[in-house]
Structure 1
Amino acid sequence: MFASPTVRVSLLFVAVALAGLVFADIAITTSNPWRDLGRFFLGVVTPDFFSTEGLATALLRTIAFAFVGVALGSFFGFILALVYKAYPVRMFCAFIRAIHELFWALIFLQFFGFHPLTGVLAIAIPYAGIFAKVYSEILDEADPEPARLLPPGTGAVATFLFARIPDCWVQLRTYTAYRLECGLRSSAILGFVGLPTLGFYLETSFSQGLYSEAGAMLVLFYVLIATMPLWVRPKALPFYLVAAPFFLGEGLPIVWGNVARFFTEDIVPAPLRNNEGLTALGSWFGDLMISEALPGIWNTLLLTQIALVATGLLALLAFPLISTHFGGPVRRTSGHVALVIARSTPEYILAYILLQLWGPSMLPAVVALALHNGGIIGHLIGRQTNGIRLRPDAPAGFNRYSYELVPRVYRGFLAFLFYRWEIIMRETAILGILGIYTLGFYVDSAIQNIQFDRALVLILLTAALNIGIDALSRYIRRRLALQTMPTC
């Protein structure tokens, strides 16, 4: 008997990941990782909320950057969604969302400096591309029936406002709320490049071994995410949006001459800038590809594929934690807490913590990516199983898991997994800033060496790689007849 296409594709990805392990740097290099891990967890359970000055301000700025960035991103994303069917618009949106927020921040830091505009634009620009894609898909899936019930002669604008928007409103609102949660995570990690958000203080505390201070910041961040339904209320949103810009802080005045020089000189390839001719340009580009781009691409792809399969395995193991078909209320509550922590902690922060505890290798990145994305998919699949009704004589335990539930949710699971493939790729690239030899490592090195021309080429290659993975993911989902945009 031949295996189904979904099983064959799954086995192919597992085989690729296993082969990748042969070439991957998977090791723990610290002398006593378990002692360090114990100290870290002790810090988390004994947080010190009063030792760090400016922690409340950092929390407010984390929220402010998220609100302003997401608001701008959703506004321009909605406008782009209206014309998303145009090929140039789709390519533009694919390009801006393919570049991670930290890469955008590193770019803007070179000419805006530590100005609030750097953080706001770093979130708003990629989020506009993400919003445009998702809003467009939501609008395309709107029920056409309400539009047919409108009086004859109703204009296109009125039809859109009174038929399509009401039909899609719940989905649009739900996705925007989810993206605000993502914005809080993005805002927090902007601190790792120097902006005054939670990430800045977290990195400082960790580098000094002050785990109780770091634990306090993580606890505050978890509380911030977990209580969003309580403080992010529709009636309060206008107040937040008006107040948020006043909490962004102040930066040094923008020197517009630096902006002009960046675009007219700094990012121009050195051979062209120095009038050395096309031969020198070819040598420059060849050296960049051989010494930086190709190793970065190889490691990015390698780490992405291992992390993708690890994410899938973790999600399949995690969804029973919150499924009503396993265990009682206490176990499900504990499972919810565990998955909320896993999916609320940004991959970048998880990888940074594990790198401090285990030493530099791909292992912390794989675990961080798998925990975060596996927590998200496990949560969604667990909720999906709660809507499945089993027959009274259905088996219990492992047989219920393997024969009753996994086969029923497996296609949805693959849809979620392939949908997050591009996201895992984006995060894999940016984790190079932490010292892992993905594309982000070479981008950060080029910026540190004031070689902005090389950095820009590497960032463009990162974007092209993400666009390619997104296209491949769509192709696989289409061939397997999976949902283009999985919902739960």
Structure 2
Amino acid sequence: MFSFPTVRVSLFFIVIAVGCLLLADLSISAANPWKDLGNFFLGLVTPDFFSYQGLATALLRTLAFAFVGVALGSAVGFLLALAYRWSAVRIFCGTIRAVHELFWALIFLQFFGFHPLTGVLAIAIPYSGIFAKVYSEILDEVDPEPARALPKGTGLISTYLFALLPQCWEQIKTYTAYRLECGLRSSAVLGFVGLPTLGFYLESSFAQGLYSEAGAMLILFYVVIATIPLWLRRQTLPFFLIAAPFCLGEGFPIIWDNVSRFFTEDIIPAPLRHGDGLAGLFDWGADILITEAMPGIWNTLLLTQMALVLTGIIALMTFPLISTQFGRPAGRLGGHVFLVILRSTPEYMLAYILLQVWGPSMLPAVVALALHNGGIIGHLVGRQSSNLSLRADAPRGLNRYGYEIVPRVYRSFLALLFYRWEIIMRETAILGILGIYTLGFFVDSAIQNIQFDRALVLIAITALLNIGIDKLSRVIRRRLALQTLPTC
């Protein structure tokens, strides 16, 4: 049910978002945006699956990067979860997951080049931190009594394997399958920085105005994600894990001199390389803070808060589409398809599409973030609302929505929204690569200018900002007695 604290916090965030609207650039600068948007939708309904011969290869590489990256991340994440109670491990995991996959890819591209290792590590490293956090929270909730029954001297790993893991195996398996879906989205987006996944060919098709070809790629991507339960089974999983490394491609060979130079020269602050001393280092840091970090942080926060509130609005509007408390089965089927499309389209990919048709501003980024995250939360809240038991004389229509359903799911809705706050922040920062003046814009500019020392400082600031939002989100969820890890 609604409570005064939850209503007060909700209104507070709405007021902040309205203030951000007044300060943000939300203009549409394209000459004929609705015609361009119409051409895009026309491409979706008239897909050309045979115009590009490399489509199957791009899809195969997307799957391969996702499987290898997620498998490696889950294995390392589980080991880190065993030691997650140590503060050093928590700080390490929080830091690596706070840096977006595309930032990791941009870093590895500088010394590994277009090698499969770049894409695999770009997914595996942040996912290790994510897996460690979630696995540890799942393990903390299991019954400790079976572990106490083990003989004295039983090692930590044996305790987890034989006493704790069997109790939560289904939860871990379900969450890992969900992360594979996320890994597919991350893998596709890596194509926008040059790796041979779906995003690379999608960007090329849009640049040439080949909307039917782009539509075919998106439809194939949606089909792959929507049918995961059909083709990813216990019997087929070993085959995919064994085959995936052989489908990554060869790429260009690694030049190890570049790797050595990157760590011994490129990332050393310029004043230290040139012998300018502490005074030069201070001026260099102040310049980064004033000219790049502060404007980037400001725009990142503006965009994040607008996207967060719009995400909540979209989730509340869309969850009835799949809830058994509303509508007919045929309508709910359409709602499921709609929400699958929303949550399956990566924010970066959707923002890129909207930038092509609306022009450069914060509007495409806000809409892209809100549609994707709103689709995810709407799906989860819709499933939860379907499990509610109502009285025989319960009202229908808008009265059922406003007086029966929303008050009962609102706390879970807020928990999910605040849980995704940090994720929205991570995506907001990375959208700067598309030309929006968030922190990612200044990171990408520094890399393009071969100023890797400045880029790493800005990436570190991005990570600290994400960690701060995550901490604030935890405080709010704890104060409102919301679930730390929503299970709906």
Fold match (TM-score > 0.5): yes
1:323-402 alignment, distance < 5 Å: 323-402=323-402
- Is there any run of 5+ residues in structure 2 with no aligned partner, and where? none
Instruction: Name the CA shift for 1:446/1:152 in 2 (closer, same or farther; >3 Å).
Output: closer
Over residues 184-229 of structure 1, what are the superposed CA-to-partner deviations in whole Å (9 max), with x where a residue is unaligned?
A: 0000000000000000000000011100010010001001101111
CA positional deviation for 1:155? 2.9
* Residues in 2 aligned to 1:151 and 1:356: alpha-carbon distance in whole angstroms: 61
* Residues in 1 aligned to 2:146 and 2:3: alpha-carbon distance in whole angstroms: 43
Local SS of the residue matching 1:112: coil
* Residues in 2 aligned to 1:154 and 1:412: alpha-carbon distance in whole angstroms: 41
Task: Tell me if 1:279 matches 2:250.
Answer: no
Task: Tell me if 1:119 matches 2:109.
Answer: no
Instruction: Name the CA shift for 1:457/1:154 in 2 (closer, same or farther; >3 Å).
Output: closer
* Residues in 2 aligned to 1:350 and 1:287: alpha-carbon distance in whole angstroms: 33
1:386-425 alignment, distance < 5 Å: 386-425=386-425
* Residues in 1 aligned to 2:366 and 2:177: alpha-carbon distance in whole angstroms: 28
Task: Tell me if 1:52 matches 2:48.
Answer: no
Instruction: Name the CA shift for 1:388/1:283 in 2 (closer, same or farther; >3 Å).
Output: same
CA positional deviation for 1:154? 8.2
TM-score (normalizing by structure 2): 0.98
| Runs of 4+ residues deviating >6 angstroms | none
* Residues in 1 aligned to 2:267 and 2:392: alpha-carbon distance in whole angstroms: 67
* Residues in 2 aligned to 1:202 and 1:66: alpha-carbon distance in whole angstroms: 18
The letter for the 2-side match of 1:291 is: T
CA positional deviation for 1:230? 1.0
Task: Tell me if 1:203 matches 2:206.
Answer: no
Local SS of the residue matching 2:110: helix
Map of 2:317 onto structure 1 = 317
Instruction: Name the CA shift for 1:274/1:51 in 2 (closer, same or farther; >3 Å).
Output: same
CA positional deviation for 1:159? 3.9
* Residues in 1 aligned to 2:344 and 2:439: alpha-carbon distance in whole angstroms: 25
Tell me if structure 1 keeps the 8 A contact 2:150–2:159: no
Local SS of the residue matching 1:72: helix
Local SS of the residue matching 1:377: helix
Map of 2:461 onto structure 1 = 461
Local SS of the residue matching 1:143: coil
Task: Tell me if 1:439 matches 2:439.
Answer: yes
The letter for the 2-side match of 1:389 is: S
* Residues in 1 aligned to 2:396 and 2:50: alpha-carbon distance in whole angstroms: 49
* Residues in 1 aligned to 2:72 and 2:83: alpha-carbon distance in whole angstroms: 18
The letter for the 1-side match of 2:261 is: R
Map of 1:430 onto structure 2 = 430
Local SS of the residue matching 1:188: helix
Task: Tell me if 1:484 matches 2:484.
Answer: yes
CA positional deviation for 1:158? 4.4
* Residues in 2 aligned to 1:320 and 1:438: alpha-carbon distance in whole angstroms: 34
* Residues in 2 aligned to 1:158 and 1:176: alpha-carbon distance in whole angstroms: 21
* Residues in 2 aligned to 1:25 and 1:251: alpha-carbon distance in whole angstroms: 40
Over residues 76-119 of structure 1, what are the superposed CA-to-partner deviations in whole Å (9 max), with x where a residue is unaligned?
A: 00000000010000000000000000000000000000000000
CA positional deviation for 1:147? 4.0
Local SS of the residue matching 1:27: coil
TM-score (normalizing by structure 1): 0.98
* Residues in 1 aligned to 2:86 and 2:63: alpha-carbon distance in whole angstroms: 34
The letter for the 2-side match of 1:357 is: V
CA positional deviation for 1:145? 4.3
CA positional deviation for 1:3? 6.3
Map of 2:109 onto structure 1 = 109
Local SS of the residue matching 2:482: coil
Map of 1:155 onto structure 2 = 154
* Residues in 1 aligned to 2:144 and 2:14: alpha-carbon distance in whole angstroms: 41
Task: Tell me if 1:261 matches 2:289.
Answer: no
Over residues 124-174 of structure 1, what are the superposed CA-to-partner deviations in whole Å (9 max), with x where a residue is unaligned?
A: 0000000000000000011234446x4665835544223211110000000
The letter for the 1-side match of 2:134 is: V
The letter for the 2-side match of 1:206 is: F
* Residues in 1 aligned to 2:152 and 2:247: alpha-carbon distance in whole angstroms: 48
Q: How many residues align?
A: 486
CA positional deviation for 1:287? 1.1
